[in-house]
Amino acid sequence: MPSFRLVDWLMTSDPFDETTYQGPQVSQTQYDRIMNYVDCGVQEGATIITGGKRHGKAGYFIEPVGIFLSYYWICG
């Protein structure tokens, strides 16, 4: 597994702030879909290098996620 973190520098915050890389998801449905992909990846053997958790307590923010895969997988 790589020892470096590719996405730690990405800013998740207010989408109107110029330093923000990623704003919130558009809806609870989209938030749940993305979190399901992260969970499915872990169940299939992927390793979360960094991120992939809820960011903050309000809104649909998700930390940018770095995932290490040792093989190709499809999550249905």
Q: Give the CATH number for residue 46.
A: 3.40.309.10
Q: What is the pLDDT of residue 4?
A: 47
Return phi, psi of residue 30, to 5°: -65, -40
20-75 pLDDT per residue, tens: 777 788 899 999 999 999 998 888 888 888 888 888 888 898 888 877 777 665 56
Q: How many domains does the chain have?
A: 1
Range of the domain at 65: 1-76
The structure's pTM equals: 0.70
